[in-house]
Chains A and B, each alone.
Chain A
């Protein structure tokens, strides 16, 4: 009998259907119909995902083969979906959080015209579709399809307000950065194909030990290059803050449910390969940690509410990569999940703030917004969760990562702990400046302040609840025996490390240490920014406010030289080479034509003469040249 999970094609198919309906019918459908279609398809996908999750939890995993996607000589790439513990978790995150963001968008984007409203929702659905394709694919090629799909959708959505040149530039930047990473991924795929002959996960991981150590290192590093592009790690992270150009729910979608988690998923999926290469793991861990610290330091000095959150995402993604790098794959996935909750919450709450005061994003012009009761409360919950205060969700996931780092290397742990403090500090800086004190905007804005409509606040509340309780699926053993459901659940895909090197007392001590440090950071931030002053920062502060000048450095060492090269080639090759050749041919033909024109004299006599002369010539040729 066929496996019941054959039907999983429904999950990505529905958003695709929604994309087609909304995309093609955006002029004909009414706004409410568009909302219903856009949210409805994702909701049904979510329901199916829950059903799939229950199936998987009961031990039913399946690779559903539909048809041959590519079939060339010995290379066969089936269009197949792999449903197992890892993809089931991601399905839930993507469709669940994605659905909430859809609902939120119906209200947030309500002022858009009908046509653009439909366009927005069709992109959103396409985004969900691509991401689902990415996590469901049973081989690297299908994964790559989804991978490219989310890249495209992020481009479309970041540049959603396409009349603004700056936004278009941001969209281009995101796309180009992603393409750089994609190239790494693509080369890795080719490498795998050349070694194994196909890219099915089952075959690749079963044959993982047949790779030479050089191959495995190269493949995993190339895959990681792909991940740095998609998941915004050093050196390809600069697109993510700029991606704030899109509408706020899009930022939430990119940062929480989709897109940036793709890299984490890909590495968690390829854990069998990464576990074989210590070098790659170290690279992943160090890059992750460096990104975590870099993002956190930059976030300290940003004044745009969305930019702070963007850098915080980069930083949190760094933590996830740290987890992957030290071999704690399930901790990484756990953090993806809790992060999806609280980062979606924070972004949507930020969107609610921006909505409330009429499009202002600069926190220097905010303050005193705690009159937005639900928004401020949910934002506060999000801050606590991301800071890692027990028993909120962020605490458990971050603690799992810190513990794994501790077991791996004490220095990594210390730096990561410092990063956690920074996280708490900048998040509460953001909270205190935005929500407490007096309002610093204009009178008109103050008058305008209002709580957002129900679809937005309900979503915020749901996400807040998830942020509070999301941690219970991963309570460490030391606090509750057998509480780490997630690791147990994922164990068929991600082997559990058996050797426990840390005693429970140490573990408890570490937990207490991180909690205390985080609380200190929160208190510090609270008092420091109670009465904020926004003087121009100097020295290191200026460095941070300008994001370590990374954008400028990239500009100077890559963008400018490229433009210069382009200009030089334009002068040297294009104008004096290709253009000259093309124009030269044209001129030669014209000149030749002018000369030959004299032959067409219109004098019958001369024609006849020519005819006779040529005939004689042919005779001569015939007679003399034949020999």
Chain B
């Protein structure tokens, strides 16, 4: 499968994520959009890694699969982020009985 497909899919996912973050006010949906962006990047990394790894193996026997390994790191970080982020959202809901981020502008004062 040509790499282009992966790139277009990845960009589409990323842009959906951005637009989601920008337009939605619900914290949980924003959160999901962030995950979407992360995974768009993961998809890109895996695709490129797969493509270049084969080509690289021809000349360098020790060429690794760094791109794919990197994805795991991102997943771990994302998992940690989710745990913290969801905790924040839970606290937020307990305090203001809403998950609307626009209510949460008190840092300004």
- In angstroms, how far is the closest chain A Cβ from the Cβ of B9? 20
Contact mask for chain A residues 579-619; partner B; CB cutoff 8 A; 1 contact, 0 none? 00000000000000000000011111100110010000000
Asked if A602 meets B101 with Cβ closer than 8 Å, knowing A608-B21, A612-B18, A612-B22, the reply is no
Q: Judge whether A609 and B105 touch: CB under 8 Å.
A: no
Give Cα A604–Cα B21 distance, bound, in whole angstroms: 10
Q: B101 to chain A: which residues have CB within 8 Å? A: 603-605
User: CA separation between A235 and B105, bound complex, in Å?
Assistant: 77
Provide the bound-state CA to CA distance between A605 and B20, in Å: 10
Q: Is B108 part of the binding interface, using a Cβ–Cβ cutoff of 8 Å?
A: yes
Q: Are B104 and A604 in contact (CB under 8 A)?
A: yes
Task: Flag whether B56 is at the interface (Cβ < 8 A).
Answer: no
Count of residues in B whose CB is under 8 Å from the partner chain:
14
Contact between A600 and B102, CB atoms less than 8 A apart: no
Q: Are A601 and B18 in contact (CB under 8 A)?
A: no
Q: How far is the CA of A226 from the CA of B81 in the complex (A)?
A: 82
Taking CB atoms and an 8 Å cut-off, the chain B residues in 62-109 that contact chain A are 101-102, 104-109
Interchain CB contact under 8 A, A608 and B105? no
A605 near B22: Cβ-Cβ < 8 Å: yes
A592 CB to nearest B CB, Å: 19
> Are A601 and B108 closer than 8 Å at their CB atoms?
yes
Q: How far is the CA of A603 from the CA of B23 in the complex (A)?
A: 12
Q: How far is the CB of A147 from chain B (nearest CB, A)?
A: 66
With an 8 A cutoff between CB atoms, is B25 at the interface? Answer: yes
In the complex, which of the residues A601, A603, A605 has the most CB atoms of chain B within 10 Å of its own CB atom?
A: A605
Q: Are A602 and B107 in contact (CB under 8 A)?
A: yes
Give CA–CA (A608, B18) in the complex, Å. 9
Residues on the A chain within 8 Å of B102, using CB: 603-605
CA distance A600 to B106 in the complex (A): 11
Complex contacts, A608 vs chain B, CB 8 Å? 21-22
Q: Whose C-beta in chain B lies nearest to the C-beta of A608?
A: B21
Minimum C-beta distance from A283 to chain B (A): 79
Residues of B within 8 A of A604 (CB): 30, 101-102, 104-105
Task: Report the separation of the CA atoms of residues A601 and B30 in the bound assembly, to the nearest whole angstrom.
Answer: 19
Q: How far apart are the CA atoms of A612 and B21 in the complex, in Å?
A: 10
Question: What's the nearest-Cβ distance from chain A to residue B104, in Å?
Answer: 7
State the CA gap A601–B23 with chains docked (Å).
16
| Minimum C-beta distance from B22 to chain A (A) | 6
Would you call B108 and A602 a contact (CB within 8 A)? yes
Which residue of chain A is the closest to B104 with respect to CB atoms?
A604
What's the Cα separation between A512 and B88 when bound, in Å?
116
**Which residue of chain A is the closest to B34 with respect to CB atoms?**
A608
| Residue pair B22, A609 in contact (C-beta under 8 Å) | yes
A603: which B residues are within 8 A, CB to CB?
A: 101-102, 105
Interchain CB contact under 8 A, A601 and B105? yes
Give the residues in chain B near A601, CB-CB below 8 Å: 105, 108
- Give Cα A604–Cα B25 distance, bound, in whole angstroms: 9
CA distance A612 to B37 in the complex (A): 13
Check A600/B108 contact, CB under 8 A, given A605-B101, A605-B102: yes
Give the docked Cα–Cα distance between A414 and B34 (Å). 110
* Cα-based distance from A608 to B30 in the complex (angstroms): 11
Residues of A within 8 A of B23 (CB): 605
**Chain A nearest CB: distance from B37 CB in Å?**
11
Shortest B41–chain A CB gap in Å is 14
CB of A491 to closest CB in B, whole Å: 92
Beta-carbon nearest neighbor of A609 in chain B: B22
B10 → chain A closest CB, angstroms:
16
Instruction: Determine how close the nearest CB of chain A comes to the CB of B96; give it in whole angstroms.
Output: 14
Contacting residues, chain B, for A602 (C-beta < 8 A): 105-109
User: Distance in Å from the Cβ of B91 to the closest Cβ of chain A?
Assistant: 15
With a cutoff of 8 Å between Cβ atoms, the chain A residues found around residue B21 in the complex are 608, 612
Contacts of B22 in A (CB 8 A): 605, 608-609, 612
Give the docked Cα–Cα distance between A601 and B109 (Å): 10
Bound-state CA distance A609–B23 (Å) is 9
Looking across the interface, which residue of chain A has its beta carbon closest to that of B106?
A602
Give bound CA distance, A600 to B109, whole Å.
Answer: 10
C-alpha gap A612/B18 in the complex (Å)? 8
A437 → chain B closest CB, angstroms: 90
Q: Within the assembled complex, what's the spacing in Å between the Cα atoms of A604 and B30?
A: 11
Return A117 CB to nearest CB of chain B, in Å: 64
When each residue 61-88 of chain A gets 1 if its CB lies under 8 Å from chain B and 0 otherwise, what string results? 0000000000000000000000000000
Q: How far is the CB of A474 from chain B (nearest CB, A)?
A: 92
When C-beta atoms are compared, the residue in chain B nearest to A616 turns out to be B18
Contact with B along A399-413 (1 / 0, CB 8 A): 000000000000000
Taking CB as reference atom, which chain A residue is nearest B107?
A602
CB distance from B81 to the nearest CB of A (A): 16
Among residues of A, the one whose C-beta sits closest to the C-beta of B109 is A602
- Minimum CB–CB distance from A378 to chain B (whole Å) comes to 86
A-B contact pairs, 27 of them (CB 8 A): A600-B108, A601-B105, A601-B108, A602-B105, A602-B106, A602-B107, A602-B108, A602-B109, A603-B101, A603-B102, A603-B105, A604-B30, A604-B101, A604-B102, A604-B104, A604-B105, A605-B22, A605-B23, A605-B25, A605-B101, A605-B102, A608-B21, A608-B22, A609-B22, A612-B18, A612-B21, A612-B22
12 additional A-B pairs beyond A609-B22, A612-B22, beta carbons within 8 Å, are A601-B105, A601-B108, A602-B106, A602-B109, A603-B101, A603-B102, A604-B101, A604-B105, A605-B22, A605-B23, A605-B25, A608-B22
User: Across chains A and B, which 10 residue pairs bring their CB atoms closest together, nearest first?
Assistant: A602-B108, A602-B105, A604-B101, A608-B21, A609-B22, A602-B107, A603-B105, A612-B18, A608-B22, A603-B102
Q: Give residues in B with beta carbon < 8 Å to A.
A: 18, 21-23, 25, 30, 101-102, 104-109
